């Protein structure tokens, strides 16, 4: 069993955002035959979640971590896991991708994935399960006798359609929120990255200033499923830049026929 965890950074859960990062990585794990459970929790649930995880004796626990309050809570939970067990802890997401050495110098983090995780997580999971070498796993950081080792970066995924979301991995009813006058809003990402060069943005390093997108057909199919099964009445797009291709964006909005926020 593998656990993937996101600790929400909205304390009151007023916007229970669909954890798109761990959902995408978890979907990749499931497609490759791994048993995986996703946990989308808040900081008040840390202690009970640690107990639940350790009862299952996973072969590792992964965290998706954004710099800020999420880093603090992920560190707290990682420490509690390591205090009570020798379960390996893996961090992925923006924070360890931008600060890999700093993360690995923490005694409660054993491994990190730099950049997109859908491919690296499969190679890492096979290696840790079968006790293979980590040396050739692109985008992986780890420690050998307390010495930090950071492998070369992994190329960006070219065809995102090969990495679709498996919505069965998560209770979507917990991820629906209110926004303005809309009562059943869901978060979604139709693309990754941005081609522009804003000095403050993580995209310089994480997405190498590239923009890539799922096909219109995949986006529409996903949202139609969410409309029919969960009665979604609006979509909030969490793309880095939804309007890079204006024609494509407008076609998506026309086809999904739902109010949308970006």
The structural domain count of the chain equals 2
The yes-or-no verdict on residue 126 having pLDDT over 50 is: yes
Distance, CA of 172 to CA of 99 (rounded, Å): 31
Q: Indicate if 91 and 190 belong to the same structural domain.
A: no
pTM above 0.95, yes or no: no
Q: What pLDDT, on a 0 to 100 scale, did the predictor assign at position 43?
A: 84
Residues 234 and 108 in one domain: no
Residue 107 has pLDDT above 80, yes or no: yes
More confident residue, 13 or 212: 212
For residues 128 and 230, membership in a common domain is answered with no
Q: Does residue 202 sit in the same domain as residue 128?
A: no
Please report the pLDDT score of residue 253 as a whole number.
Answer: 96
235 lies in some domain: yes
- CATH number of the structural domain spanning residue 223: 3.30.750.210
Same domain (yes/no): 8, 108: yes
Q: What is the CATH number of the domain that holds 75?
A: 3.40.50.280
| Helices of type H across the chain | 20-31, 46-56, 69-84, 94-98, 100-104, 120-130, 203-206, 216-230, 246-256
- Cα(47)–Cα(25) distance, rounded to whole angstroms? 24
- DSSP calls for 110-155: -EEE-S--TTHHHHHHHHHHHT--STT-TTEEEEETTEEEEPPPPP
pLDDT at 262 over 50: yes
**Same domain (yes/no): 116, 196:** no
| Same domain membership, residue 215 and residue 116 | no
Is 229 inside a domain boundary? Answer: yes
Residue 134 has pLDDT above 80, yes or no: yes
Q: Is 191 helix (H, G, I), strand (E, B) or coil?
A: strand
Same domain, 39 and 111: yes
* pLDDT (average), residues 45-60: 95
CA–CA gap between residue 203 and residue 94 (Å, rounded): 10
Q: Is residue 76 part of a domain?
A: yes
Q: Is residue 166 part of a domain?
A: no
Q: Which range among 5-9, 201-205, 212-216, 230-234 shows the weakest confidence by mean pLDDT?
A: 201-205
Residue 157 within any structural domain of the chain: no
Residues 192 and 68 in one domain: no
**Is pLDDT of 150 > 80?**
yes
pLDDT at 3 over 80: yes
Residue 11 lies in a domain: yes
**Same domain flag for 110 and 226:** no
Range of the domain at 201: 176-261
């Amino acid at each position: 069993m593998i656990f993937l965890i996101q600790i929400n950074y909205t304390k009151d859960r007023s916007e229970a955002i669909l954890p798109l990062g761990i959902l995408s990585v978890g979907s990749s794990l499931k497609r490759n035959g791994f048993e995986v459970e996703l946990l989308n929790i808040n900081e008040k649930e840390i202690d009970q979640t640690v107990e639940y995880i350790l009862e299952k004796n996973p072969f590792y626990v992964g965290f998706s971590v954004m710099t800020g309050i999420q880093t603090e809570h992920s560190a707290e939970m990682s420490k509690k896991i390591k205090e009570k067990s020798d379960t390996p802890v893996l961090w992925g997401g923006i924070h360890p991708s931008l600060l890999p050495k700093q993360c690995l110098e923490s005694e409660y983090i054993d491994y990190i994935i730099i950049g997109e995780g859908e491919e690296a997580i499969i190679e890492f999971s096979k290696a840790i399960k079968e006790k293979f070498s980590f040396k050739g796993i692109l985008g992986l950081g780890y420690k050998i006798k307390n010495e930090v080792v950071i492998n070369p970066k992994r190329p960006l995924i070219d065809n995102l359609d090969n990495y679709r979301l498996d919505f069965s991995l998560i209770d979507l009813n917990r991820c629906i929120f209110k926004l303005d006058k809309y009562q059943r809003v869901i978060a979604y990402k139709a693309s990754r990255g941005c081609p522009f060069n804003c000095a403050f943005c993580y995209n310089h390093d994480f997405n190498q200033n590239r923009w890539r997108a799922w096909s219109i057909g995949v986006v529409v199919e996903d949202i139609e499923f969410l409309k029919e099964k969960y009665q979604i009445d609006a979509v909030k797009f969490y793309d880095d830049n939804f309007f890079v291709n204006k024609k494509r964006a407008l076609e998506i909005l026309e086809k999904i026929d739902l109010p949308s926020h970006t």
